[in-house]
Amino acid sequence: MSKGSKTSKMTQPPQPGKPADFSSIAEKHWTPERITKITSGRKYEIVPPGDAPFLRAIGLLASDASMPADAVRKYVQINHMLGLVKAPLMDLRQRHKSLAILDAGCGSSFLTFLVAWYLKHKVDLEFGDFLCVGIDTNKALIEKSRALADKLELQKHMHFEVASTRDFTWEGLLERRPALAPFKRPQMVVALHACDTATDEALGLGIAAGADVLAASPCCQAELAAMWRELAQTPEGRAHPMAPAFHAPELRRTIAAEMTDMMRVMLLRTAGYETTATEFVESRHSPKNRLILAIKRGRYSMDAAESYQKFKAHLGGCAIRLESLISSAGAL
């Protein structure tokens, strides 16, 4: 190489954006004051600068390691979500050597990557191994998730497939991927912002697969409201005590959405799950902020089934999608 030549690549300084370089930028940027500003003083599991590479990879940190104002909402949301599923996740870790989590309708896979990163970097995994599986019908998003898993060096623990929640089965996955045989079933099934009956499909999939924990954040529930709209045109509907709600388009969908989640909670209890519906982030951060968390405690509950049938009758006798799915799984 001539004297006038540029230095070789081996002697060039690291380029901005490389992991090591970004980590050092994050170390300088994230002062205690800045951390407190985004966490509001709360103890979060995922915090910069230690988790800066992850936050950068999922698009929540800029190239200078700062967090844009519009990313703070998502940052708060994922930490609150993790906080709610952490206890059952740690319980599963203690009880199972091979831990599998299925994200049904994973979309951009925020939750999938959050759980995988947490298990790899925050939890003692001497007990065994874990696998996070994400399925979605959007091929582009699945390919993007696969690339991100490689970038974060999580590919050993993650698997993504183009599949619908309605058609996917864990048994089918193991047939296609024999190497995943140690993970005999998903112990946890999650669904973040699954629209309308997609939430029911995810919960039904989890029950059919024998999952111990179900976590779903419903979105855009329209099924019950549509049934009420039809019921409003019948003599039975016009005479029903809920008729005012059936005939109020401006309120019908809102009321039906709340009742849909209540019916889901009651159905899950019928199937033997201890179930709660919790606000996982303040409504100022996201209007879609309800998490239905169900933990398997036993078998079919006749008392819960009777309560559900009475409640359904009060709502016009309309059955939501989850009822038929639980029945098909033999849990109702």
Q: Residue 96 contacts by C-beta under 8 Å, 6 or more apart in sequence?
A: 128, 187
pLDDT in tens, 109-131: 988 999 999 999 988 766 679 99
Distance of alpha carbon 40 from the chain centroid? 24
Q: What is the mean pLDDT of residues 215-244?
A: 93
pLDDT of residue 13: 40
Domain boundaries, the chain: 15-67, 79-328
pLDDT for residue 100 is more than 80: yes
By the 10 Å C-beta count (0-12 exposed, 13-18 middle, 19+ buried), 166 is classed as middle
User: Tokens for 144?
Assistant: 């993007």
User: Tokens for 257?
Assistant: 């959405």
pLDDT of residue 299: 83
User: Tokens for 317?
Assistant: 């006798």
Architecture label for domain 79-328: 3-Layer(aba) Sandwich (3.40)
pLDDT band of 288, cuts 50, 70, 90 = low
pLDDT in tens, 42-82: 999 999 999 999 999 999 999 999 999 999 988 998 898 89
* pTM of the full structure: 0.88
Q: What is the mean pLDDT of residues 242-267?
A: 94
pLDDT band of 11, cuts 50, 70, 90 = very low
CB 104 within 8 A of CB 206: yes
Q: Which residue has the higher pLDDT, 2 or 146?
A: 146
CB 330 within 8 A of CB 256: no
